Amino acid sequence: MSGRTAIVLGATGLVGSELWPKLVGRDSPWESVVLLARRPLAALPAGISCRVIDFDGLPETFPEDIRGDDLFCCLGTTLRQAGSREAFRRVDHDYVLEIARILTQRGLRQMLVVTALGSDPDSRFFYNRVKGQLEADLSNLDIPVISFLRPSLLLGERSDSRPLERLGQAAATPARGLMRGPLATLAPIPAAEVAEAMYRIASHEVNERPVQPGIRRAVIPSSEIARIAHTTDLQSLGGMK
Ligand SMILES: NC(=O)c1ccc[n+]([C@@H]2O[C@H](COP(=O)([O-])OP(=O)(O)OC[C@H]3O[C@@H](n4cnc5c(N)ncnc54)[C@H](OP(=O)(O)O)[C@@H]3O)[C@@H](O)[C@H]2O)c1
C-alpha cells in the first residue's frame, strides 16, 4: 500500500461512476478514496467516503481537512443543464480550477482531468475553448504530474435525457470499428474505457514513479485513451513528458 489518498470529482457521472469502484478494487494502490459531490452518495464500500461540498461557495467553503495525493476530475455539465455560458464555465472551468488550486497548496502530487477532443483555449467553439482554458490554467499550477484525457463522444447509458448526444451515439457507434488511422481519434469511446485508462495511468504513476522530480504533462487523445484501456504495455502510458 502506498498510503495515498485519491480524490474524485464527478463520481456520479458516466465516467466517474465507472472510475471510483476501480480505486477501491483489490489491486488498487490507494488506501483511501474521497468523493467530492454536491449530494451524498449512499452505501459506499469500505475505504471510500463521500464529502458533500458547496461548489458555489468555493474557495472559502472548501473544508480545511480535505487533502489528497491524486485528483481525478470527471466533472462537467452541458450548456443546456447549466442554462447559460457563464454557468457552464463556472462548473467546467472555475469549480475544477479552484479545487485543484486548493489541493495543490495541500500537497497534491498528480491530477487526471477529462477534458474533450478539440480542447483549445483559442477555439472558436465555446465548449472547446472552456476545456482548453481549463487545461492551460491547470498547467500553470504547480501540480507535479497532470494528464489531460481528451475523449471524443462518450458512449454509455445515461439517466438524464440528452437527445442530441443520443442521436450522435446512434449514428457513430456502428462506424466506430471503421474509424482507423487518422480518423481513430474521432471515434466515439465508451465511458468505461476512459475510466479504465485513468485508473491505469494514475496507478502506474503511483506504483512505478512515486518520487520523480520536475513537472510532467500529458495530453491523451481519444485513440490513445482506447489503447491504454486495453494495453498490457504499461511503459509507454500516455506519452508522459
Ligand atoms: N458527453 C460526452 O460525449 C463528452 C465528450 C467529451 C468530453 N466530455 C467531458 O467528460 C467529462 C465527463 O463526462 P460525463 O459524461 O461522464 O459527465 P456526466 O455524466 O454529465 O457527469 C458529470 C458529473 O459532474 C457533476 N456535476 C455537474 N454539474 C455540477 C454542478 N453544478 N455542481 C457539482 N457537480 C456537478 C455531476 O454531478 P450530479 O450527479 O450531482 O449532477 C456528475 O457527477 C465532462 O467534463 C465532459 O464535459 C464529455
pLDDT in tens, 68-117: 999 999 999 999 999 999 999 999 999 999 999 999 999 999 999 999 99
Q: Looking at 22, 127, 199, 241, which residue is catalytic?
A: 127
pLDDT in tens, 164-221: 666 666 666 666 666 676 677 778 999 999 999 999 999 999 988 766 666 789 999 9
As for how many domains the chain has, the answer is 1
Which structural domain, as residue segments, surrounds residue 232? Answer: 4-239
pLDDT band at 59 (very low <50, low <70, confident <90, very high): very high
Q: What is the pLDDT of residue 51?
A: 97
**Ligand 1 centre and the CA of 76: distance in Å?**
3
Binding-site residues, ligand 1, Cβ < 6 A: 10-16, 38-39, 55, 74-77, 91, 114, 116, 151, 153-154, 165, 191
**Ligand 1 centre and the CA of 51: distance in Å?**
18
116-125 CB burial, b ≥16 within 10 A, e <16: beebbeeeee
pTM as predicted = 0.92
Return the CATH number at 192. Answer: 3.40.50.720
**Ligand 1 centre and the CA of 84: distance in Å?**
16
Q: What is the average per-residue pLDDT within 141-152?
A: 96
Residues in the chain: 241
**Ligand 1 centre and the CA of 228: distance in Å?**
22
Q: Looking at 22, 95, 131, 199, which residue is catalytic?
A: 131
Q: What is the pLDDT of residue 120?
A: 98
Q: Does the active-site annotation cover 95? A: no
Q: Which of 71, 74, 130 to mutate to test ligand 1, by most ligand atoms within 8 A of the CB atom?
A: 74
- Kindly give the number of the ligand 1 atom that is closest to the alpha carbon of 56: 32
Q: Using N-to-C axis directions, what is the helix angle for 191-208 and 222-230, rounded to 10°?
A: 70
Which of 71, 58, 66, 68 is CA-nearest to residue 8?
A: 71
